[in-house]
Amino acid sequence: MTTNIHDLLNKYFEGETTREEEKTLQGYFKQGNIAEDLQEIAPIFTFLADESAVSATPPKSKRWRIIISITTALAASLFIGIVLLHRHTQTNRFTENYAWINGERITNPELVRQYAQESFDKVKTEENILEKQLTFMFE
């Protein structure tokens, strides 16, 4: 078998091995009974065998993908909920009827109408005063 392993190693370092031949090499170096002239390169193949064993366990990576997908979906749902809640409170804030009078927020529509009517009456009165003054100046 050692001549076969040497042939496989030559093919491997030339980059001409198949996946099955590489598995054979990894199995040979992992079994522990390694020829003395191959002891120096044994760590390469034991490392590759360990790496292929780790990458051959898709349930863990699949589990992580599922966890990440669920987490992303929850974060997106939370973000959308916050945006909709904020928009709802903003909409209510702008559709509620109120007026600021003398630094006080008034929500009673009748009281707002009363203050508005008083303001219009003052403007009318001031308009009349201004009109009288202008007619006096041009006479």
Q: Does the global pTM surpass 0.85?
A: no
Q: Are 30 and 50 in contact (CB under 8 A)?
A: no
Does 2 or 72 have the greater pLDDT score?
72
Q: Are 21 and 9 in contact (CB under 8 A)?
A: no
Determine phi and psi for 115, rounding to 5 degrees. Answer: -65, -40
- CA atoms in the 13 A half-sphere facing the CB of 72: 6
> Given this model, what pLDDT does residue 58 score?
55
CA 110 vs. chain centroid, Å, equals 49
Question: Stretch 122-130: mean pLDDT, rounded?
Answer: 66
